[in-house]
Amino acid sequence: MSGSWQGEGGQHQGARPYQEDSWALRSLADGSLIAVIADGMGGHAGGAVASKVAVEAFIHAVEQGGGLSDGLRDANAAVGKQAAAKRELAGMGATLVAVHVRGDEVRWISVGDSPFFLVSDGRIERLNADHSMAPQIEEMAKRGLISEEEAAVHPARHTLREAVMGEPLSLIDKGSRRVGPDAKLLLCSDGVQTLSEQQIQEAVPKSVRGLIEAVLAVADQHQDNVTVVKLERRP
Protein backbone atom coordinates (compact mmCIF):
# COMPACT_ATOMS: atom_id res chain seq x y z
CA MET A 1 0.00 0.00 0.00
CA SER A 2 2.93 2.36 -0.62
CA GLY A 3 2.31 5.76 -2.13
CA SER A 4 0.00 8.61 -1.26
CA TRP A 5 -2.64 10.50 -3.19
CA GLN A 6 -3.23 14.18 -3.76
CA GLY A 7 -6.17 15.77 -5.49
CA GLU A 8 -7.63 18.97 -6.88
CA GLY A 9 -10.96 19.93 -8.36
CA GLY A 10 -12.67 22.70 -10.25
CA GLN A 11 -15.68 23.58 -12.36
CA HIS A 12 -17.18 26.01 -14.86
CA GLN A 13 -20.80 26.60 -15.83
CA GLY A 14 -19.95 26.47 -19.54
CA ALA A 15 -22.55 28.13 -21.76
CA ARG A 16 -25.33 27.46 -19.26
CA PRO A 17 -26.84 30.32 -17.23
CA TYR A 18 -26.45 28.36 -14.00
CA GLN A 19 -24.32 25.68 -12.32
CA GLU A 20 -25.96 22.34 -11.52
CA ASP A 21 -22.79 20.38 -10.65
CA SER A 22 -21.48 19.89 -7.12
CA TRP A 23 -18.29 18.21 -5.95
CA ALA A 24 -16.23 17.43 -2.87
CA LEU A 25 -12.78 16.10 -2.04
CA ARG A 26 -11.95 14.96 1.48
CA SER A 27 -9.10 13.35 3.38
CA LEU A 28 -10.30 10.66 5.77
CA ALA A 29 -8.92 9.79 9.20
CA ASP A 30 -6.97 6.79 7.83
CA GLY A 31 -5.11 8.96 5.32
CA SER A 32 -7.18 7.87 2.33
CA LEU A 33 -9.05 10.23 -0.02
CA ILE A 34 -12.70 10.33 -1.05
CA ALA A 35 -13.97 12.33 -4.03
CA VAL A 36 -17.50 12.74 -5.38
CA ILE A 37 -19.23 14.61 -8.20
CA ALA A 38 -22.98 14.99 -8.70
CA ASP A 39 -24.47 16.47 -11.88
CA GLY A 40 -27.94 17.83 -11.11
CA MET A 41 -31.04 17.75 -13.26
CA GLY A 42 -34.35 19.50 -12.84
CA GLY A 43 -33.67 23.07 -13.87
CA HIS A 44 -31.95 25.90 -12.05
CA ALA A 45 -33.53 25.28 -8.65
CA GLY A 46 -33.93 21.50 -8.71
CA GLY A 47 -30.65 20.49 -10.32
CA ALA A 48 -28.50 22.70 -8.14
CA VAL A 49 -30.28 21.53 -4.99
CA ALA A 50 -30.17 17.84 -5.93
CA SER A 51 -26.44 17.81 -6.63
CA LYS A 52 -25.60 19.73 -3.45
CA VAL A 53 -27.80 17.55 -1.26
CA ALA A 54 -26.43 14.36 -2.83
CA VAL A 55 -22.78 15.34 -2.32
CA GLU A 56 -23.31 16.51 1.26
CA ALA A 57 -25.18 13.35 2.25
CA PHE A 58 -22.62 11.12 0.55
CA ILE A 59 -19.64 12.76 2.24
CA HIS A 60 -21.36 12.73 5.64
CA ALA A 61 -22.07 9.01 5.42
CA VAL A 62 -18.47 8.17 4.50
CA GLU A 63 -16.95 10.48 7.11
CA GLN A 64 -19.12 8.70 9.70
CA GLY A 65 -17.43 5.41 8.78
CA GLY A 66 -19.68 4.17 5.98
CA GLY A 67 -18.57 2.76 2.66
CA LEU A 68 -19.34 3.95 -0.85
CA SER A 69 -22.62 2.03 -0.96
CA ASP A 70 -23.70 3.69 2.30
CA GLY A 71 -22.87 7.07 0.81
CA LEU A 72 -24.95 6.40 -2.28
CA ARG A 73 -27.86 5.11 -0.22
CA ASP A 74 -27.88 8.22 1.96
CA ALA A 75 -27.47 10.52 -1.04
CA ASN A 76 -30.43 8.92 -2.78
CA ALA A 77 -32.58 9.13 0.34
CA ALA A 78 -31.63 12.76 0.96
CA VAL A 79 -32.53 13.83 -2.59
CA GLY A 80 -35.86 12.03 -2.37
CA LYS A 81 -36.67 13.59 1.00
CA GLN A 82 -35.84 17.10 -0.23
CA ALA A 83 -37.88 16.65 -3.42
CA ALA A 84 -40.90 15.47 -1.45
CA ALA A 85 -40.69 18.46 0.89
CA LYS A 86 -41.08 21.16 -1.77
CA ARG A 87 -43.42 21.01 -4.75
CA GLU A 88 -41.08 23.08 -6.93
CA LEU A 89 -38.35 20.45 -6.48
CA ALA A 90 -40.48 17.48 -7.58
CA GLY A 91 -38.66 15.33 -10.13
CA MET A 92 -35.21 16.67 -9.37
CA GLY A 93 -32.25 14.31 -9.37
CA ALA A 94 -28.56 13.92 -10.06
CA THR A 95 -25.96 11.60 -11.44
CA LEU A 96 -23.25 10.61 -8.97
CA VAL A 97 -19.73 9.25 -9.27
CA ALA A 98 -17.48 8.72 -6.27
CA VAL A 99 -14.08 7.17 -5.64
CA HIS A 100 -12.12 6.10 -2.58
CA VAL A 101 -8.34 5.74 -2.93
CA ARG A 102 -5.84 4.27 -0.51
CA GLY A 103 -2.40 2.98 -1.42
CA ASP A 104 -2.65 1.17 -4.74
CA GLU A 105 -6.37 0.39 -4.37
CA VAL A 106 -9.11 2.37 -6.11
CA ARG A 107 -12.78 1.77 -5.34
CA TRP A 108 -15.64 3.51 -7.13
CA ILE A 109 -19.42 3.70 -7.32
CA SER A 110 -21.60 5.56 -9.81
CA VAL A 111 -25.13 6.12 -11.04
CA GLY A 112 -25.82 7.95 -14.29
CA ASP A 113 -23.49 9.05 -17.07
CA SER A 114 -20.74 11.03 -15.29
CA PRO A 115 -17.47 9.41 -16.44
CA PHE A 116 -14.59 8.12 -14.31
CA PHE A 117 -11.26 7.72 -16.11
CA LEU A 118 -7.98 6.01 -15.25
CA VAL A 119 -4.91 7.38 -17.03
CA SER A 120 -1.91 5.06 -16.65
CA ASP A 121 0.85 3.50 -18.74
CA GLY A 122 0.24 5.97 -21.56
CA ARG A 123 -3.43 5.19 -22.09
CA ILE A 124 -6.84 6.30 -20.86
CA GLU A 125 -9.64 3.96 -19.80
CA ARG A 126 -13.15 4.67 -18.61
CA LEU A 127 -13.72 2.51 -15.54
CA ASN A 128 -17.42 3.06 -14.84
CA ALA A 129 -20.53 2.24 -16.83
CA ASP A 130 -22.54 4.81 -18.80
CA HIS A 131 -26.17 4.71 -17.65
CA SER A 132 -27.42 6.90 -20.50
CA MET A 133 -28.89 5.70 -23.80
CA ALA A 134 -25.58 6.35 -25.59
CA PRO A 135 -24.23 2.76 -25.33
CA GLN A 136 -27.44 1.31 -26.78
CA ILE A 137 -27.47 3.86 -29.60
CA GLU A 138 -23.83 3.09 -30.42
CA GLU A 139 -24.68 -0.63 -30.49
CA MET A 140 -27.45 0.13 -33.00
CA ALA A 141 -24.85 1.84 -35.19
CA LYS A 142 -22.50 -1.15 -34.92
CA ARG A 143 -25.32 -3.43 -36.06
CA GLY A 144 -26.03 -1.17 -39.01
CA LEU A 145 -29.49 -0.16 -37.82
CA ILE A 146 -28.50 3.52 -37.95
CA SER A 147 -25.44 5.31 -39.28
CA GLU A 148 -22.57 6.49 -37.09
CA GLU A 149 -23.49 10.06 -37.99
CA GLU A 150 -27.09 9.47 -36.84
CA ALA A 151 -25.83 7.88 -33.62
CA ALA A 152 -23.60 10.86 -32.83
CA VAL A 153 -26.52 13.33 -32.92
CA HIS A 154 -29.35 11.03 -31.81
CA PRO A 155 -31.84 13.06 -29.70
CA ALA A 156 -32.08 10.31 -27.06
CA ARG A 157 -28.31 9.93 -26.70
CA HIS A 158 -28.08 11.76 -23.38
CA THR A 159 -31.29 10.39 -21.88
CA LEU A 160 -30.50 8.87 -18.48
CA ARG A 161 -31.57 5.32 -17.65
CA GLU A 162 -30.87 5.86 -13.96
CA ALA A 163 -30.35 8.79 -11.59
CA VAL A 164 -30.29 9.59 -7.88
CA MET A 165 -33.89 10.74 -7.29
CA GLY A 166 -35.00 8.99 -4.12
CA GLU A 167 -36.46 5.96 -5.91
CA PRO A 168 -34.98 2.43 -5.65
CA LEU A 169 -31.85 2.24 -7.82
CA SER A 170 -31.72 -0.58 -10.36
CA LEU A 171 -28.50 0.47 -12.14
CA ILE A 172 -25.46 0.94 -9.91
CA ASP A 173 -21.91 0.56 -11.16
CA LYS A 174 -19.21 -0.26 -8.65
CA GLY A 175 -15.82 -1.85 -8.74
CA SER A 176 -12.22 -1.80 -7.59
CA ARG A 177 -8.83 -1.79 -9.25
CA ARG A 178 -5.19 -1.97 -8.24
CA VAL A 179 -3.25 0.78 -9.96
CA GLY A 180 0.39 1.56 -10.67
CA PRO A 181 2.52 4.36 -9.25
CA ASP A 182 1.88 6.62 -12.25
CA ALA A 183 -1.92 6.42 -11.96
CA LYS A 184 -4.06 9.49 -12.43
CA LEU A 185 -7.83 9.43 -11.91
CA LEU A 186 -10.42 11.82 -13.33
CA LEU A 187 -13.95 12.09 -12.00
CA CYS A 188 -15.97 14.29 -14.33
CA SER A 189 -19.42 15.55 -15.08
CA ASP A 190 -20.45 14.72 -18.64
CA GLY A 191 -19.64 18.26 -19.80
CA VAL A 192 -16.03 17.12 -20.17
CA GLN A 193 -17.06 14.89 -23.07
CA THR A 194 -16.95 17.85 -25.41
CA LEU A 195 -13.38 16.51 -25.68
CA SER A 196 -12.57 13.06 -27.04
CA GLU A 197 -10.90 10.60 -24.67
CA GLN A 198 -7.60 11.17 -26.50
CA GLN A 199 -7.92 14.92 -25.97
CA ILE A 200 -8.74 14.37 -22.30
CA GLN A 201 -5.63 12.21 -21.93
CA GLU A 202 -3.49 14.87 -23.62
CA ALA A 203 -4.81 17.46 -21.16
CA VAL A 204 -4.17 15.32 -18.07
CA PRO A 205 -0.63 16.68 -17.44
CA LYS A 206 -2.20 20.12 -17.08
CA SER A 207 -3.91 21.32 -13.92
CA VAL A 208 -7.66 20.83 -13.54
CA ARG A 209 -8.02 24.46 -14.57
CA GLY A 210 -6.06 23.70 -17.73
CA LEU A 211 -8.23 20.70 -18.57
CA ILE A 212 -11.41 22.74 -18.11
CA GLU A 213 -9.95 25.50 -20.28
CA ALA A 214 -9.32 22.89 -22.99
CA VAL A 215 -13.03 22.03 -22.87
CA LEU A 216 -14.04 25.68 -23.07
CA ALA A 217 -11.62 26.30 -25.95
CA VAL A 218 -13.83 24.14 -28.17
CA ALA A 219 -16.38 26.98 -27.82
CA ASP A 220 -19.42 24.71 -28.03
CA GLN A 221 -22.42 27.06 -27.98
CA HIS A 222 -24.32 24.47 -25.92
CA GLN A 223 -21.45 23.64 -23.55
CA ASP A 224 -22.78 21.94 -20.43
CA ASN A 225 -21.51 22.59 -16.92
CA VAL A 226 -18.13 20.90 -16.55
CA THR A 227 -16.62 19.67 -13.29
CA VAL A 228 -13.39 17.71 -12.87
CA VAL A 229 -11.70 16.18 -9.83
CA LYS A 230 -8.19 14.86 -10.51
CA LEU A 231 -6.46 12.41 -8.17
CA GLU A 232 -2.78 11.66 -8.66
CA ARG A 233 -0.75 8.93 -7.00
CA ARG A 234 2.68 9.82 -5.74
CA PRO A 235 5.46 7.38 -4.66
What is the DSSP track for 136-194? HHHHHHHTTSS-HHHHHT-TTTT-BS--BSSSPPS--EEEEEE--TT-EEEEE-GGGGG
CA separation for the pair 108, 116 (Å, rounded): 9
Dihedral pair phi/psi, residue 141, rounded to 5°: -70, -40
The architecture CATH gives domain 4-125+163-234: 4-Layer Sandwich (3.60)
CA distances from 215 to 128, 142, 145, 209 (A): 21, 28, 31, 10
User: Domain limits of the chain?
Assistant: 4-125+163-234
> What is the rounded distance in angstroms from the CA atom of residue 115 to the CA atom of residue 197?
11
Give the pLDDT score at 2.
Answer: 55
pLDDT (0 to 100) of residue 139? 76
Whether the model clears a pTM of 0.95, i.e. scores above it, the answer is: no
- Identify the pLDDT of residue 95: 97
Query: Which residues of the chain are modeled with pLDDT < 70?
Result: 1-3, 43-44, 156
Contact 52, 92 (CB under 8 A): no
